[in-house]
Amino acid sequence: MPFVETFRICEPGKAPFRDAVADAVALPSLLATMLRNLIEAWPPEVYDRPLVTTRFLGQRTTYVCDPASIRSLLVDQAEALEREPFMLRALAPALGSGILTADGSHWRGQRRTAAPMFRPDRVRGFVPAMARAAQATRSRWLRAGPPDGVRDILPEMMRTTFDIIVATMVSGDSQLEVEPFGRAIDAYLGQTSWKIALSMLGAPARIPHPGARAGARAAGYLRAEVARTVARRRARGEPGADLLGLLLQAEDPETGRPLPDESLVDNLLTFVAAGHETTALALTWTLRLLAEHPEVERRVVAEARGLGTDPAADPEAVDRLAYTRQVVMEAMRLYPPAPLIVRRAAADIRLGDRIVPAGQSVHVPVYALHRHRRIWDEPEVFDPDRFAPERAASRDRYAYLPFGAGPRVCIGMGLALTECLVVLATLLPAFRFVPTRPGMPANQFRVTLRPKGGMKMKVVPRDVR
């Protein structure tokens, strides 16, 4: 199996002093690249090799880009993996030790407790709330707007998915405000690139960096707001039928214990943060790709109009949006909202004939996997028919990982996909989108995959039929 070493890597044990000097010289430009866009710091081999190991400043990272090895890693050897310290350094100040950030028995208990909340029948029950939030966006866009009709679709979708997550999580009593909450999430995520880059380069956690104070303030604000929401609900005396109500009543099926308050805050914030930003990005990239591909857009609009009913009144109608679903899947192939899955080996890991020793980093570069030249024909081409049932069935399950895989697969996958379908079926029959600039915008890694500089498009109401 090929063992790739990129420009940042030197022959092990050959000339340690010269290697250290070369690394030190490369450090400023590597740091700048990582801060600009971590994806650009990946070695180019991740797009055409199965396994790639890099070394820098003595730290090794193995990138796993081969479906069989991904299965072996994330499923068969899941027990030998732990959270990557750099991700914890980036996320734990805000998310504490919730389902996304915890490990071992603490994770298992929380996951078991929360899993029933995301069952398909529960998700179905949230469709009317999703449809109402999408309709609110439609009304907002029809009412008034900038004279030239140009809107940044990313914050618009953030607002829509935030409304949905608030409606489904904390319906009724929410005083969570979208703008300050969104600003705090932006401030927080904005500085995580520093935390990740410094951590990957082995710098101590205490080292100051730009945005650190604003990030800490944002984390404090987010946690306090969510803690107040939980307290308001407790004061009401009855838990309610939304996700917070379910969380409050949830018991670990093995121990019978409810979640302690600290875990409630960790997980509610995790669901809000992990749930609304990623889904908004999936929608934003999808709308931009549709603007680029009018023939695909026409089929999506026809499918939505063909429903002949409103998902708010008939949640089962969502099942009939099969082509729209293919479009969202293909958009998430090219622009996976979570472009990188990271782990640390807690014990030695075997990948084919290679051993990744305990303590080393092992990453699945999802963005590269989805554009891998050995897996996909014409990987850069947007083609929703790749996800037509017969073509999808012939592909390895582990070639496509927008929601991860194995025991830590995204708990909100069904919720997110349903939400995308409801929002697209509500907005696309009412509007077409005209990009202000030709060509797809560049992307930028900010834990999630954001369009650099936003996603400005002219929102044009369609003629009412």
The annotation places the binding site for heme at: 410
Residues in CB range of 334: below 8 A, 6 or more apart: 285, 289, 370, 371, 380, 382
Task: Write out the binding residues for ligand HEM, residues 250-309 only, by CB under 6 A.
Answer: 270-271, 274-275, 278-279, 282
Least Å distance, CB 361 to ligand HEM, is: 13
Among 411, 425, 428, 459, binds ligand HEM (CB under 6 A): 411
Q: Does 52 bind ligand HEM (CB under 6 A)?
A: no
User: Considering only 38-46, 297-305, 404-412, 424-432, which stretch makes contact with ligand HEM by CB under 6 A?
Assistant: 404-412
* Residue 238 exposed, middle or buried by CB count within 10 Å (0-12, 13-18, 19+): exposed
Nearer to ligand HEM, 410 or 424 (CB): 410
Rank residues 274 and 290 by Cβ distance to ligand HEM and give the closer one: 274
Size of the site for ligand HEM (CB under 6 A): 22
**Is position 333 an interface residue for ligand HEM (rule: CB under 6 A)?**
no
- Nearest-approach distance from CB 461 to ligand HEM, in angstroms: 27
Nearer to ligand HEM, 194 or 271 (CB): 271
Q: Among all residues, whose Cβ is closest to ligand HEM?
A: 412
Residue 308 CB, shortest distance to ligand HEM, in Å, is 27
Q: How far is the CB of 419 from ligand HEM (least distance, A)?
A: 7
Q: Does 112 bind ligand HEM (CB under 6 A)?
A: no
**Does residue 395 touch ligand HEM according to CB under 6 A?**
no
Residues belonging to the binding site are 410
Give min distance, CB of 161 to ligand HEM, in A.
Answer: 8
Q: Should residue 404 be labelled a site residue for ligand HEM when binding is judged by CB under 6 A?
A: yes
Q: At closest approach, how far in Å is the CB of 454 from ligand HEM?
A: 19
CB nearer to ligand HEM: give 137 or 168: 168
Q: Could you say whether residue 410 binds ligand HEM (CB under 6 A)?
A: yes
CB of residue 344 vs ligand HEM: minimum separation in angstroms?
Answer: 11
Nearer to ligand HEM, 246 or 411 (CB): 411
Of 12-20, 224-232, 285-293, 399-407, which segment contacts ligand HEM by CB under 6 A?
Answer: 399-407
**3-state DSSP of the chain:** CCCCCCCCCCCCCCCHHHHHHHHHHHHHHHHHHHHHCHHHHCCHHHHCCCEEEEEECCEEEEEECCHHHHHHHHHHCHHHEECCHHHHHHHHHHHCCCCCCCCHHHHHHHHHHHHHHHCHHHHHHCHHHHHHHHHHHHHHHHHCCCCCCEEEHHHHHHHHHHHHHHHHHHCCCCCCCHHHHHHHHHHHHHCHHHHHHHHHCCCCCCCCCCCHHHHHHHHHHHHHHHHHHHHHHHHHCCCCCCHHHHHHHCECCCCCCECCHHHHHHHHHHHHHHHHHHHHHHHHHHHHHHHHCHHHHHHHHHHHHHCCCCCCCCHHHHHHCHHHHHHHHHHHHHCCCCCCEEEEECCCEEECCEEECCCCEEEECHHHHCCCCCCCCCCCCCCHHHHCHHHHHCCCHHHCCCCCCHHHCCCCHHHHHHHHHHHHHHHCCCEEEEECCCCCCCEEEECEEEECCCCEEEEEECCCC
Stretch of residues binding ligand HEM (CB under 6 A), selected from 52-60, 253-261, 396-404, 437-445: 396-404
Q: Does 338 bind ligand HEM (CB under 6 A)?
A: yes
**Residue 403 binds to ligand HEM (criterion: CB under 6 A):** yes
Please give the residue ranges that form the binding site for ligand HEM (CB under 6 A): 99-100, 111, 270-271, 274-275, 278-279, 282, 337-338, 341, 402-404, 408, 410-412, 415-416
